Amino acid sequence: MKTVLSLRPGRFAAHLARCAPFFHSSRQCRRERWGLAALAVLLAPVAAEATIPPELPFISRLGVGARPMGMAGAYTAIADDYHALYYNPAAMTRIRDTEFGIAFDSRSVDANTDYLGTHSNTPSDKTRLESIGFVYPYPTYRGSLVIGLSYERIAPFDIDYYRTGSGGGIRLEEESIEEIGSLGAYQAGFAWELSPQLAFGVTGTILAGTSDRRRTFDFESADHLDRESTITNTLTDLTAITGSLGILYRLGERADLGLTIRLPENYDLDGTIHDDVIRYQASPPETLDYIDDFNFKDELSIPYRITAGIGYRAGDLTLAGDATFADWKEIDYYGPIRTDGREYAYRSTIDFRVGAEYSLPQQPLRLRAGYAAQPLPYEVIGVDVFGGVASRASFDHDFRAFTVGAGLDLDESLILDAAFVSGSYQRSGRSTAGVETREEVKDQRLIIGATFKVKT
């Protein structure tokens, strides 16, 4: 059932856009839809209200695997297990035994917001299967030919977000978002040693995931003229087909270079939305009062990402470094994602990761540490949810993570690995009325994995 009491031409499309699926905050919730939304625009070509570009939760990925994450994901040039399918498929040529591995992770996210002088804190915790993989080195007379299969949970969507405040012309504003889900990579690949110095690898990937999201938003202005009460439940399925190409070049007995090209990811999004909305706005005039359910289909693509890595071994010490470039301005979501001022909502980024591993002499124990600097691709922040206003974000610090880890060889056939990751970022923005919105997100993960080897 749906009732529209009073609607200025073009406003219905703008309102439907607020319930965009799987985005972490209503600050990223307005966009045009087909169906009724498109029809409203066609019948009344009047500019819709200001919109805030969507922040996609699955494009910025920290990494996977207990051993790799113990070194902050600096793994492109030194990978030697089934996680090579993700980091650099060419590195599977290092694997000499049939291998099976599994890992679990426990993730804790602490979301902090400061808005209109009110601080809100919401923690959330999830424990899930992180990865499972199999690698088989095919017997050859010369060189190496290796095939592998794996599942990696590459992007968790789980979040519990809350923000509230009052003052400055706002009697009350309260927003909460509860979301569960993740994006997984189902991978199959092979690696071929072309010469003693050069190896090449390919990974084919099916990406699939779900997001189950509930958002509530309540707003009332101090003069009682503007107010809104919204409940939106969104269920989204995401699928894409992609892959990666990898090269491993051995500079000598101590050093290696790695290069990985991750191909574009073209997503199909299918889902359902339940909307329960009451909204009154004085200027420009708008009145909405309806309950509705509808389906949606969307398409989205993210661009190439290129990673270069180096690894160096000196006795019992291994050092590694990676750099990844991506031009996120090339995200295609019915065209480039821009602000109302026609500026790009996303930016180009270069991620840096460094890591070290030390094998204790005469002991079956390896110690690891690492650091990752990973700028957020999304460079705006919503400062007025009711009005759909965003500003350029100011970063107190971009996302950065410190990691530690260890590996224990229980015998020739069983290896246990563990890693602890602690990362965070802080960003803020200010509206034209001088109201500041500040966010700090702390992300901690404990990853534990086991690898079983069978002599080939």
Per-residue pLDDT of the chain (456 residues; tens, 9 = 90+): 333 333 333 332 333 333 344 443 333 333 333 333 332 222 333 233 457 788 888 888 999 999 999 999 999 999 999 999 999 999 999 999 999 999 999 999 999 999 988 999 999 999 999 999 999 999 887 778 999 999 999 999 998 889 999 988 899 999 999 999 999 999 999 999 999 999 999 999 999 999 999 999 999 999 989 999 999 999 999 999 999 999 999 998 899 999 999 999 999 999 999 999 999 999 888 899 999 999 999 999 999 999 999 999 999 999 999 999 999 999 998 888 888 778 889 999 999 999 999 999 989 999 999 999 999 999 988 888 888 788 889 899 999 999 999 999 998 899 999 999 999 999 999 888 788 899 999 999 999 999 999 987
Asked whether the beta carbons of 419 and 372 are under 8 A apart, the reply is no
Element (H, E) at 356: strand 348-359
- Which structural domain, as residue segments, surrounds residue 199? 2-454
Of the candidates 63, 67, 64, the residue with the CA atom closest to the CA atom of residue 405: 67
Q: Cα separations (Å) of 66 from 88, 105, 120, 374?
A: 16, 9, 32, 19
Element (H, E) at 137: strand 118-138
Measured CA to CA, the distance from residue 387 to residue 407 in angstroms comes to: 52
**Preceding omega of 284 cis (within 30 degrees of 0):** yes
Burial status of residue 160 (CB atoms within 10 A of its CB: 0-12, 13-18, 19 or more): middle
Give the pLDDT of residue 50: 57
Burial status of residue 236 (CB atoms within 10 A of its CB: 0-12, 13-18, 19 or more): buried
Q: What is the CATH number of the domain that holds 395?
A: 2.40.160.60
User: Apex CA 410: angle with CA 405 and CA 416, to 5°?
Assistant: 35
Give the pLDDT of residue 435: 83
Of the candidates 295, 247, 223, the residue with the CA atom closest to the CA atom of residue 87: 247
Asked whether the beta carbons of 12 and 4 are under 8 A apart, the reply is yes
- In the numeric block, the tokens 């819709």 are attached to 48
Asked whether the beta carbons of 441 and 112 are under 8 A apart, the reply is yes
Strand bridging mode 98-115 / 436-454 = antiparallel
| Sheet strands (E) in 222-316 | 227-250, 255-262, 265-281, 286-302, 305-314
| Domain count of the fold of the chain | 1
Give the pLDDT of residue 167: 87
Encoded tokens for 405? 């880890």
Element (H, E) at 68: helix 66-70
Give the pLDDT of residue 44: 31
Asked whether the beta carbons of 88 and 189 are under 8 A apart, the reply is no
Give the pLDDT of residue 15: 35
Strand bridging mode 2-6 / 317-327 = unpaired
DSSP for residue 49: P
Encoded tokens for 276? 């329960």
Categorise residue 205: left if φ over 0, alpha if ψ from -120 to 50, beta otherwise: beta
SS3 assignment, position 41: helix
